Amino acid sequence: MRRAEVWLVSFFLARCTTKVATGSEDRWNATLQRYNPSDKPRLNTNVIFDLYLRDMRNINSHDQTFEAQITFRQQWTEPRLSHKHDGNLPYQKVADPSLIWTPDTFFSNELEGYRHSVSRDNVFLRVKRNGQILLSERASLKLSCPMNLAAFPFDTQVCGIYISSYGHIRSILSYEWKDIQPIQMNKNQLPTTFELRQYNTSICSARTNTGEYSCIKVEFFLHRRWNHYMLHVFIPLTMLNVVAWLTFWVRDVPMRVTIIMFTFALAVHGITTLNQDLPQTPYAKMIDYFTAITLLFILGAMIEFVFIKWIDNEDEKNGSANKIDAACRLAYPVAYFGFLVVYFIAALLFPKIRSARAYGHHRRSRLQSLPPAQQGPAVASAGLSLAVRRCVYLCECECECIQQVSNNRALGGAFFASSYYLSVPLEQSFVVVINSVRSNRTDQRTYGRTCRQTADDDDDGRWVAVLPLMDLGEVSASQSTS
């Protein structure tokens, strides 16, 4: 009797679960039948983006490219796909993503690329009950990476991935990074010839003849490992210089000529072979300075030998040749050692100074993409007074304030409440977007001032507002109360 009761309860529970699941599927299928994937969502679509860096390889200084394998995820809300779902899972999985409208996302610095489809397409799409969509795809990309090789091989390169919409302007389709962990990576698959020291995410929206397009980017700071060049370039050439220095003690003329000529020929051959493997640039690299000056030192030893032979033939009695040799025995290593000290100090410090400046710029770009609540304290800590001059109307729903600073060093790397970077021709040398407020083409208050439309022909209908000189503490307080 007891077994029969258990069986009946199980049977009714299974029937109820089946009905619930069937009802959920029916409602979802009905939603899909009413849905047209060729129609874009009616409202402005904001895409939340994050990516997982699976592999980074083949950072090529010759072609100035790098390759990356990524899994990128896009999240946006589609109100037309809101539905009731009574199943155990909080979302519906769509087997065919072509049934749903998806953003026309592309990587603007991509040279080659493909989506993975071994065994089956590496893509999935989920729709939550409220219409929130998650699209995940896996792709391999070959991307351009413009490089400055002046500090080679002590250089730090900034290689990025730029994401944008191909055909929709920012007022229709916009991108932003996920707030928490926008970038994840497999540290075991990072490049061996470079050290990934940090990365930064920021916004790179651009204006073209057809409108302003939303763009986001992640930039990787890659420091070149120069151990290879130490073992194969710096140490061998230094050893050849030591051999050239030792010839100052050799009195046998044929032997001295043989040693110096062999040393010079070996250095020339090594440098020529090295230059064939190095990227060709219209400017000198740090390694070029080392090879050139090292070759000059060896050439100097040859010139010194020719000179003392001429002196020796002219003045055999005074022993001037021996005195010159004795002086060179001391001066040659001191001069070369001094060169090595200056060279490696410059080589190791100069890239760090450049990287610090670059990091300051990218840190400011990162602050531009932070929520205003996170940006205020950074500015308040700078303790500076900066003049906010005008607010330029850019598109249907955005009013951007421009800060002009004549001395960019005074800023120090602290920015405030910035959402987009704007480059416009101004008299000052530094331009920063410091505030972004929503506007609907009516008077918009910005810290007590009004954005208004200008009638200037060259302003192209942009809005301009003149704001007074503000202390950053006041700006921060104003932001916190708004």
Least Cα distance to 145 among 175, 185, 108, 177 occurs for: 108
Domain boundary among 177, 206, 225: 225
Least Cα distance to 259 among 301, 228, 288 occurs for: 301
Residue partners of 434: CB distance under 8 A and separation at least 6: 386, 388, 401, 402, 403, 415, 416, 417, 418, 475
* 233 and 194 co-located in one domain: no
Identify the band that residue 264 occupies on the pLDDT scale cut at 50, 70 and 90.
very high
Q: Is residue 58 included in any domain, yes or no? A: yes
Token pair recorded at residue 427: 């008299």
The dihedral formed by the CA atoms of 291, 293, 298 and 303, expressed in degrees to the nearest 10: 140
Q: Is residue 362 included in any domain, yes or no? A: no
Kindly give the interhelix angle for 253-277 and 286-314, rounded to the nearest 10 degrees.
160
* 181 and 236 co-located in one domain: no
Residues 149-200: tens digit of each pLDDT: 999 999 999 999 999 999 899 999 999 999 999 999 998 888 889 999 899 9
* 260 and 209 co-located in one domain: no
Does residue 256 contact residue 247 with C-beta atoms inside 8 Å? yes
* 275 and 415 co-located in one domain: no
Domain range for 394: 385-481
The dihedral formed by the CA atoms of 350, 216, 371 and 429, expressed in degrees to the nearest 10: 50
Q: Is residue 433 included in any domain, yes or no? A: yes
Give me the amino acid identity at 185.
M
Give me the amino acid identity at 26.
D
3-state secondary structure of 129: coil
Quick check: 5 pLDDT over 50? yes
Domain boundary among 225, 257, 278: 225
Does residue 436 contact residue 398 with C-beta atoms inside 8 Å? yes
Average pLDDT over residues 229-253: 94
Q: Is residue 363 included in any domain, yes or no? A: no
Tell me the percentage of the chain whose pLDDT exceeds 70: 65
Distance separating alpha carbons of residues 122 and 348, to the nearest angstrom: 43
Q: Is residue 10 included in any domain, yes or no? A: no
Q: What is the pLDDT of residue 272?
A: 95
Residues 403-451: tens digit of each pLDDT: 333 333 333 333 333 333 333 333 322 233 333 333 333 333 333 333 3
Average pLDDT over residues 324-331: 91
Q: Note if the bond before 146 is cis, omega within 30 degrees.
A: no
Token pair recorded at residue 291: 């090879």
CA 28, 34, 39, 41 torsion-angle sign: negative
Q: What is the pLDDT of residue 317?
A: 56
Q: How many Cα atoms are found within 13 Å in the side-chain-facing hemisphere of 148? A: 9
Q: What is the pLDDT of residue 388?
A: 33
* 471 and 326 co-located in one domain: no
Q: Is residue 66 included in any domain, yes or no? A: yes
Q: Give the DSSP letter of residue 427.
A: S
Identify the band that residue 112 occupies on the pLDDT scale cut at 50, 70 and 90.
very high
| Three-point CA angle 108, 113, 119, nearest 5° | 140
Strand order, beta sheet including 430-438? 430-438, 398-405, 385-395, 469-471
* 50 and 162 co-located in one domain: yes
Q: What is the pLDDT of residue 340?
A: 96
Distance separating alpha carbons of residues 191 and 186, to the nearest angstrom: 11
Q: Is residue 469 included in any domain, yes or no? A: yes
Give me the amino acid identity at 212.
E
- For the chain, how far is it from start to end, CA to CA, in angstroms? 70
* 256 and 343 co-located in one domain: yes
* 214 and 96 co-located in one domain: yes
Distance separating alpha carbons of residues 416 and 368, to the nearest angstrom: 8
Q: Is residue 322 included in any domain, yes or no? A: yes
* 71 and 210 co-located in one domain: yes
Residue-wise burial string across 20-57, b where 16 or more C-beta atoms lie within 10 A, e elsewhere: eeeebeeebeebbeeeeeeeebeeebebbbbbbbbbbe
* 185 and 233 co-located in one domain: no
* 217 and 245 co-located in one domain: no
Q: What is the pLDDT of residue 86?
A: 63
* 217 and 305 co-located in one domain: no
pLDDT higher at 352 or 260: 260
DSSP 332-387: HHHHHHHHHHHHHHHHHHHHHHHHHHHHHHHHHHHHHTS-HHHHHHHHHTT--EEE
Average pLDDT over residues 78-90: 76
Average pLDDT over residues 302-321: 78
CATH number at residue 308: 1.20.58.390
Does residue 45 contact residue 92 with C-beta atoms inside 8 Å? no
- Tally of structural domains, the chain: 3
> Can you give the pTM of this predicted structure?
0.68
Distance separating alpha carbons of residues 408 and 125, to the nearest angstrom: 46
CATH number at residue 185: 2.70.170.10
Domain boundary among 197, 225, 253: 225
Identify the band that residue 454 occupies on the pLDDT scale cut at 50, 70 and 90.
very low
Residue partners of 352: CB distance under 8 A and separation at least 6: none
Residues 380-397: tens digit of each pLDDT: 333 333 333 333 333 222
